[in-house]
Structure 1
Amino acid sequence: MVSDSRPRRWRRLFIVLGSLVALLALAIGGGVTLVYVNADVSTVGRAEFSNELAIPPLASSRVRSDGTREFELDMRSGRTEFRPGQATETWGFNGTYLGPTLRARRGEKVAVTVRNQLPEASTVHWHGMHVPAAMDGGPHQMVQAGATWTPQWTVDQPAATLWYHPHPHGATEQHVRRGLAGMFLLDDDVSETLPLPKNYGVDDLPVIVQDVKFSGAELDSSHAIFRDVGFLGNQTMVNGTLTPYRNVGDELIRLRLLNASTARSYPFGFADERQFSLIATDGGLLERPAALDRLQLSPGERAEIVVRVRPGERTVLRSNKLAAGLDFWGQRFAGGDDTFDILELRAAETLRPSPQLPAALARPSTPDGSDSVQERRFDINLAGINGKPMAMDRIDLTVTRGTAETWIVHNNDGMPHNFHIHDVRFRVLARNDSPPPTELTGPKDTVFLPPNATVELAMRFDGPADPDTPYMYHCHLL
């Protein structure tokens, strides 16, 4: 009699398949674990601070016969040597990387001649500027390769630290990452009379923070696995300078912080936990200085802080771990566990005395919500806002010139977002149904939203109205 061995063969087959599935699961699990363990980045304690901080020059300008102050910005490609002997392909304004600092005064008429010498179309958006929609520089004002754009407007807002950067639909991250960014400083009667550090490049320093990653000599723009938030680099630079230091000779130093990264948020502080004074947010001065030891800025946000240094000391501006309520996975892969030593300040042995900061700075200049005529709600997630992705030919809402509104913005996604509105400055009335923290009490145009967070914003739309050209609101994680 011959026995049938097929059941036994099937059992062996199932055992082999089961073993392969188990091994595959272990391999995948081990690979994910390995990626997780190695996903955080830190330069804390390892930065040599061997390069003197570059200070973007103040842009030259000329005043026309009608009083208009005119600037010129050429968008160029070139090569920049971030590291000795290694030239990197970059883009910049009036140079190979970043751009000059534009400066104007409230009440001045400003004109900018923008020439696009790049191999592709781009734009220049005046982030934080109250400006006519046709001059805003969003994706509706593309400047073709070889073309010139000449926006002009009258500066009509309080003193503030603003910035300019490209805004082409679908390519903003690439253009900013390549180096197209610069500061735009506004002055007014209040800022000029206050006893604040104001000697540009001496005791008043622009601090443009970006994260970068290199592949050989070139910038690496790849998005690492699981990092859905966007590009996250493995080192930082300030004003285009890697591991920078700055010699300072005054007791009080004003740092104009700009997060010009495309996706990374920075919880700024100092390595020795010293306090500093927050004097201004995105849209201008606070009512009074606020003592802090941590200040978080998401992409596009700005802040002005004043720090006291002692003779002969060195202190390091640091980015700490992000405390934003991210989940276990998001904390690691959205950059929440990353830490960086960003800039070293080296104080001279003898320092020039600085006047004490004034107790009062500026009166509030944003609506308090009491005269809002409409309330709107915006839900943000990876798919878009209120369920709609960006579309160049769609107008989502219309507002009435001269009226104030209250916008309630909620992040219903599992990843962090932020929210930027063109043209207007707003007041944060509440965060998660509670009064805003100190760092959100000044005038803002961009606000960070952790997962499941809600902010209530009050703003006024005072034009000018334009039936053909829209303003934008969007997440500024590029």
Structure 2
Amino acid sequence: MRLRQVLVVLVVTVLVLCGLCTGAGVWVWNSAVLSTADQVDFTRPLAVPPLAPSHLDAQGRRVFELKAQAGTHDFGHGATPTRGYGGSYLGPTLRAARGEQVVVDVANGLDEATTLHWHGMHLPAGMDGGPYQGIEPGTTWSPTWQIDQPAATLWYHPHPHGRTAQHVYQGLAGMFLVDDPATDVAALPHEYGVDDFPVIVQDKKFHGDGRLDDTAPFLSGIGVLGDTVAVNGTVGPYLEVTTQRVRLRLLNASNARSYDFGFADGRTFALVGSDGGLLPRRADLSRIMLSPGERAEIVVTVAPGERVVLRSYPPQLGTPLFDRFSGGADTLDILQLRVSSGAVARPQVPERLVDVPRLDPSGAAQRRSFSLGGHAINGKGMEPARVDAAPVLGTTEVWRVVNNDGTPHNFHIHDVQFQVASVDGHAPPPWLAGWKDTVYLPPNRPYELVMRFADYADPNTAYMFHCHLLAHEDAGMMGQFVVVPADSR
């Protein structure tokens, strides 16, 4: 009798524990889905970062000034401690033309060292702002270089090794626009703050006292995922639109989250540009996915008096076991466009945009392979003393990159803009037809990237390549290359 009673108790205990585990599993599974569709009250006008003032010095160089500093910002949770450039959060938009020599005086008003990297910019390694160009508190770093690349939407952000995620999450970032009439299209909307707007998208979450919460969610493996979207630092933003076509320069400045941008009513838009400039032809799409660090220029046609919501749909991350825990099931309302009743007409977007010279993979001087997995590339974590590649100045290379684990990763290369030659052995889709510096890597689908190393050789100073999910980068998923002179072979 006693044995029977013990067995009954054991069976009941096991059943209760199984029920609790099942219930907990269901709760974890369901709680990993976030949707703010039709739940956002768009009550705040979108902040538009001002164009940074500049002046010409005695040498004819265009000089900008930026100061990294601490402050507080209102995300709707009181005064949240943040950081920014010349203000409490984010920074102004720098704008310069191809052919100009620029100088940026970067002052560090923080209580710790930082750096400032020019993401997407073609420039000497010593001016790149990677982990080795540290700016100590109270000091100023003044990189200078000549702008020499097509018109494009670039950005800037810190790059201190092991602390990039923290610095960017706290607000240190901004846009850098390159102008070049030869590689832009006059018919596109181009009046900054009138029909041409920066849209810097970030996700945040908060502690009860309003401080930013940078803890990673359960099972995500990619870093912080927020439940609140801020655009240019504005939560619940609306944009007053006064033209019937508007250009949105989308930047995913989040630490880890990917977005699949579209509109709530399903309308199409014209994708006209990617990371490194305009596409050869516009691509008429209803969605465009951007992983951290990627940019897209879109032109949307609107009607007088209407309201349109820019939304992020669940991105296709290609990681079925972890999509749900990496933001892959989330739907987020981003920005409302409020079109005035007197919105003025703008020209149609031309089908053909600019000539994009194609790099020939068959003429590559070197082919390299990079496998991303865990927090390593080719099985190696970041080591400051190790150089992983030494391309020769003036040569073209093909890099085969592949995500070999079930976690989201992307791939960013400093200095060069590359072209996607193939995706899993096939021609790339139209939205990858232009210049890129960052690309998302679905698991087990090799991407072949072709790039040319031009203008700058420095065998003693390295550029970086890395996953741009910032927690992965900080954990060591980064490598180094130097460009060496041709006569060094």
- Structure 1 position 456, deviation (Å): 0.7
- RMSD between superposed Cα atoms in Å: 1.6
- 169, 172, 184: which is aligned to 2:161? 169
Tell me if 1:66 matches 2:33.
no
Residues 191 and 375 (structure 1 numbering): CA distance in 2 closer, same or farther, change over 3 Å?
Answer: closer
What pairs with 1:290-309 in structure 2 (closer than 5 Å)? Answer: 290-309=283-302
SS at match of 2:421: strand
Tell me if 1:50 matches 2:55.
no
Number of the residue aligned with 1:265: 258
Tell me if 1:223 matches 2:246.
no
| CA distance, structure 1, for counterparts of residue 68 and residue 188 of structure 2 | 33
- Structure 1 position 331, deviation (Å): 1.8
Same amino acid, percent of matched pairs:
53
Residues 393 and 26 (structure 1 numbering): CA distance in 2 closer, same or farther, change over 3 Å?
Answer: farther
Number of the residue aligned with 2:30: 37
- Structure 1 position 298, deviation (Å): 0.3
**1:358-401 superposed Cα distances (whole Å, 9 cap, x missing partner):** 33221114523232111111110113100001122211111111
Q: Which amino acid aligns with 1:413?
A: D
Residues 366 and 474 (structure 1 numbering): CA distance in 2 closer, same or farther, change over 3 Å?
Answer: farther
Q: Which amino acid aligns with 2:272?
A: I
Tell me if 1:405 matches 2:397.
yes
- After TM superposition, the structure 1 stretch with the greater mean CA deviation from structure 2, 29-38 or 181-190, is 29-38
- Structure 1 position 340, deviation (Å): 0.5
| CA distance, structure 1, for counterparts of residue 240 and residue 400 of structure 2 | 44
Q: Which amino acid aligns with 1:196?
A: L
Tell me if 1:351 matches 2:343.
yes
Verify the 8 A CA contact 2:158 2:167 in the aligned structure 1: yes
TM-score using structure 2 length = 0.93
Q: Which amino acid aligns with 1:68?
A: R
- 305, 312, 318: which is aligned to 1:312? 305
Verify the 8 A CA contact 1:366 1:460 in the aligned structure 2: no
What pairs with 1:112-151 in structure 2 (closer than 5 Å)? Answer: 112-151=104-143
SS at match of 1:49: coil
SS at match of 1:214: coil
- After TM superposition, the structure 1 stretch with the greater mean CA deviation from structure 2, 27-36 or 37-46, is 27-36
**1:418-449 superposed Cα distances (whole Å, 9 cap, x missing partner):** 00000000000111111111111111000001
Tell me if 1:367 matches 2:359.
yes
Q: How many positions carry a matched residue from both structures?
A: 469
Number of the residue aligned with 2:194: 202
Verify the 8 A CA contact 2:310 2:334 in the aligned structure 1: yes
Residues 265 and 202 (structure 1 numbering): CA distance in 2 closer, same or farther, change over 3 Å?
Answer: same
- 173, 181, 185: which is aligned to 1:189? 181
- Structure 1 position 81, deviation (Å): 1.7
- After TM superposition, the structure 1 stretch with the greater mean CA deviation from structure 2, 131-140 or 15-24, is 15-24
Structure 1 unaligned residues grouped into runs of 5+: none
Number of the residue aligned with 1:108: 100
Q: Which amino acid aligns with 1:333?
A: F
| CA distance, structure 1, for counterparts of residue 183 and residue 356 of structure 2 | 14
Verify the 8 A CA contact 1:374 1:404 in the aligned structure 2: yes
**1:431-475 superposed Cα distances (whole Å, 9 cap, x missing partner):** 111111111111100000112221111000114111211001000
Number of the residue aligned with 1:331: 323
Number of the residue aligned with 1:240: 233
Verify the 8 A CA contact 2:127 2:143 in the aligned structure 1: yes
| CA distance, structure 2, for counterparts of residue 123 and residue 264 of structure 1 | 23
SS at match of 2:75: strand
Verify the 8 A CA contact 2:184 2:354 in the aligned structure 1: no
- After TM superposition, the structure 1 stretch with the greater mean CA deviation from structure 2, 459-468 or 150-159, is 459-468
| CA distance, structure 2, for counterparts of residue 30 and residue 244 of structure 1 | 37
Structure number with larger C-alpha Rg: 1
**1:46-69 superposed Cα distances (whole Å, 9 cap, x missing partner):** 011000000000000010121100
- After TM superposition, the structure 1 stretch with the greater mean CA deviation from structure 2, 421-430 or 361-370, is 361-370
| CA distance, structure 1, for counterparts of residue 133 and residue 396 of structure 2 | 26
Q: Which amino acid aligns with 2:278?
A: L
- 244, 256, 265: which is aligned to 2:249? 256
Number of the residue aligned with 2:274: 281
TM-score using structure 1 length = 0.95
- Structure 1 position 126, deviation (Å): 0.2
Q: Which amino acid aligns with 2:165?
A: E
| CA distance, structure 1, for counterparts of residue 451 and residue 358 of structure 2 | 7
- Structure 1 position 330, deviation (Å): 1.1
Verify the 8 A CA contact 1:194 1:361 in the aligned structure 2: no
Number of the residue aligned with 2:171: 179
- Structure 1 position 82, deviation (Å): 2.2
- Structure 1 position 17, deviation (Å): 5.6
Verify the 8 A CA contact 1:421 1:474 in the aligned structure 2: yes
Residues 24 and 280 (structure 1 numbering): CA distance in 2 closer, same or farther, change over 3 Å?
Answer: same
| CA distance, structure 2, for counterparts of residue 325 and residue 475 of structure 1 | 16
- After TM superposition, the structure 1 stretch with the greater mean CA deviation from structure 2, 32-41 or 188-197, is 188-197
| CA distance, structure 1, for counterparts of residue 185 and residue 21 of structure 2 | 63
